[in-house]
Structures are given as structure tokens and as C-alpha cells.
Amino acid sequence: MNQRKVPDVVIRRLPLYLRTLEILDPDEAPIISSEQLAKLVGTSSGQVRKDLSYFGVFGKQGVGYQIISMRMELRRILKLDQEIRVGLIGAGNLGAALVRYHQKNRVHQPLEIVALFDVDDKKIGRKIADVEVFDIGKLSSIIRNLDIKMMILTFPAANVQQVVDICIASGVKSFLNFVPVSLKVPAEVKLRTSDVTLELQSLAYYT
């Protein structure tokens, strides 16, 4: 793999390329050009070629990309060729909806939500979409025992940083955060925040 530092925006586009390739039938057309892929994704052919150049040679100029081999390579780059265990903290309405959606749509996906965490005694010990809800007081031990590397945060904002620090110390490498609060993580840990309120407020401009 190319040793150049890959911009985050490029990494975020790779799953779009992979998703597009996975809905194509390679028996009908085993090769796709950068122009065709760009049109399906909604970008330019130059952007596709530039993004892929960070990871070596995928296809041949004037020929295109082998769909099957490109799928495999993108999965490898994204580490989707191995099981990645995910936890979720906050088994409320949003957390439950995310788990149900993921479980329903995770066919052929290596990302598996293996544990939920909450403080509500009425939820602890129960299951949502076949995923057990654990006492958040057992967060560190469950993360280690189940080898959880990714955590989704959907709980109220109190003590979020403290909880994140516990997760990191226990081996979590990345977070998807739905909590409207500013968090700090080490450089080697990845944090992405999705603030629905801010997104809606920005969209209000176009209404």
C-alpha cells in the first residue's frame, strides 16, 4: 500500500465506491471504467483515479477496473475483510433504532454490534434485535472480553468524556458520536460526530 498519508475525505469516499461496486453484476460487465464509477457515485473520474492512487494500481489505463478484484481490495483497505466488533452506549430510542436497522441490513457485512450498554435497570439484561444490554458499570470488562474496537455513542451528554476515556483505555479505536458535545481523543483514535440538530439547521437555509 502507498505510504502517503490518506486524507480522511478520501477514506470516507471508499465505502461509496465499494457499495456501488457491490450492487453491480460482474457477470454482465466484469470491468468498470473510472468514468462509469464516477457517474454512479456522483463525482468526477479524475477524483476516482486520484482517490484510488493512494492505494496503488487498481486497473489499467484505457481498460478499467476488474469489479470483483476491486471489491476485494477495497474491503481489505477498509479492513472489512475481517470481523469488527462494535458496541453501542445508550439503549434509548435512537440507540435501539440504530441497532435494529444495522441488524436488518448487515448481510455480508463484517461490522457486528455485539453489546449495548445502559444505566437503566429496566433495560439491563434484555435484548434489542438479539443484542444484550449490559450495565455500563461493566463497560471496561465487556469491551475487553468481547474485543470491541468501535463504539457508537447515543446516550445523554453527562459524563461522555469520562465514558470515552474508559472505552479508549479498554481498547476501543474509533467512535461514531451522536451526542451533542465536544470530545477529545488521542491522535491514534478516530472520532466522528453526527449532530442531527446542526445538520437540520444548516438545511433550513435551503427551505
Q: Domain for residue 34, yes or no?
A: yes
The number of distinct structural domains making up the chain is 2
Single out the residue in 30, 61, 77 at which a domain terminates: 77
CA distance 190 to 192: 7
Are residues 93 and 187 located together in one domain of the fold? yes
Is residue 2 very low, low, confident or very high in pLDDT (cuts 50, 70, 90)? Answer: very low
Length, in residues, of the chain: 207
- Amino acid letter, 99: V
> What is the residue range of 32's domain?
8-77
| pLDDT of amino acid 198 | 84
| pLDDT of amino acid 1 | 44
List the single range of 18-22, 55-59, 137-141, 178-182 with lowest mean pLDDT. Answer: 55-59
SS3 83: coil
- Cell 491514534 belongs to 188
List the single range of 34-43, 46-55, 87-96, 194-203 with lowest mean pLDDT. Answer: 194-203
**CATH code for the domain in which residue 133 is found:** 3.40.50.720
| pLDDT of amino acid 146 | 98
Q: Domain for residue 3, yes or no?
A: no
Q: Domain for residue 1, yes or no?
A: no
Whole-model pTM over 0.85? yes
Please answer whether residues 155 and 179 qualify as being in contact, where contact means their C-beta atoms are separated by less than 8 angstroms: yes
Q: Domain for residue 2, yes or no?
A: no
Give the whole-number percent of the chain exceeding pLDDT 90: 79
